[in-house]
Structure 1
Amino acid sequence: MSMKLATPALVLAALIGPAGAAEPLPAAIAAPGETVVLSVHAEGAQVYECKAAADGKLAWAFREPIATLLSEGKTIGRHYAGPSWELADGSAVVGKAAANAPGATAADIPWLKLDVTSHRGSGVLTPVTTVQRIHTHGGTLDGACDKAGAFRSAPYSAAYIFLKKG
């Protein structure tokens, strides 16, 4: 399977849409001095578990993401607990949240900047040092739950941008 990598300009054009003033990313999740390696669309769910909160009341707590990574309408990988991203070429990264910015609405999970903490395999993700989650839609789950240990998922979509230093 061959993967075509878009140039950073093409990736930005695709993210920005029609010609016009680009909206810069929120400063909290910007990655100055880094270049785009790959940009993908994700479709999936944020999985929550019913647990006792600090006040003893049951509430939904985030457990893990489950998503398909898509490029030009084709499945090229998956996103799962870790948080981890794995491509069909065998390369994978695990990240740790470093910063966030609010989603467009209260129903949208936050935009994130994640520092890559480990790599596996060899391929497109090998040089990646930072992952950004932007353009989120959905994924939040609020409110009380009535049975500890119950699970519920909230559909979401997002763009993941994989960057490297330099």
Structure 2
Amino acid sequence: MSLLNNTALAAFLLTASFVTASAQTPLPDAIAAPGEKTVLTLHAEGAQVYECKAAADGKLAWAFREPIATLLLDGKTVGRHYTGPNWEHIDSSAVVGKAIGNAPGATPNDIPWLKLEVTSGRGTGILNGVTTVQRINTAGGKLEGACDRPGTYRNVPYSADYVFLRKS
């Protein structure tokens, strides 16, 4: 069986399990995507990167800078997630998104769940035609508190599931 067939089969199985799970636990309205179908669900492991900067009031605070994560399918690396936000698959397809909705994570230490509208894409692989990305099941990633040196960075580990959808 080819890598593409294995990837397609794995995507189908993940989609089936995700549809079952989402039927039991509906997503918050703010990030729901009615009328769209799941193309692929990938797990991400990485870090949210923050920079110590002067806020509008002149006080130093941690500001979100970028995500850096590995995208996994069945424990195997199949892509990466980085500044943009961008999601890039090993088949060379990629999408860029813009946040249009959010819901709180499960704990105060978890970054929010997001709904992102795809603003551009490239390639003819599995992410071709994706219109929406949801970030769900977040764990960690949030950084709060004071910082004391502008220009310093902190990486906060996080994990999440990214659901790639397209209009039916």
Shift in Å, 1:87: 0.3
Structure 1 partner of 2:84: 82
- Cα deviation digits, residues 96-150 of structure 1 (max 9, x gap): 0000000001100000000000001220000100000000000000111111010
Instruction: Specify which of 99, 104, 107 is matched with residue 105 of structure 1.
Output: 107
Structure 1 match to 2:135: 133
Deviation of 1:23 (Å) = 1.2
Unaligned segments of structure 1, at least 5 residues: none
Structure 1: 4+ residue segments shifted above 4 A? none
Structure 2 gap segments, 5+ residues each: none
Query: Which amino acid is 1:139 matched to?
Result: G
**How big is the alpha-carbon RMSD for the aligned residues of Structure 1 and Structure 2?**
1.2
Aligned to 2:19: 12
Aligned sequence identity (%): 67
In the alignment, which of 142, 145, 162 is matched to residue 143 of structure 1? 145
Higher helix share: 2
Question: Hey, what's the Cα distance between the residues in 2 that align with 1:107 and 1:10?
Answer: 27
Q: Within 2, Cα distance between the matches of 1:38 and 1:9?
A: 10
Taking the aligned partners of 1:149 and 1:96, their CA distance within structure 2 comes to 26
TM score, norm. by length of structure 1 = 0.93
Distance 1:10 1:60 in 2: 37
Q: Does 1:38 align with 2:40?
A: yes
Paired letter, 1:136: T
Matched residue of 1:10: which SS? helix
Length, aligned pairs only: 161
Distance in 2 between residues matched to 1:113 and 1:28, nearest whole Å: 8
Cα distance, 1:6 vs. partner? Answer: 1.5
- 2:61 and 2:134 map into 1 onto residues whose CA distance is 28
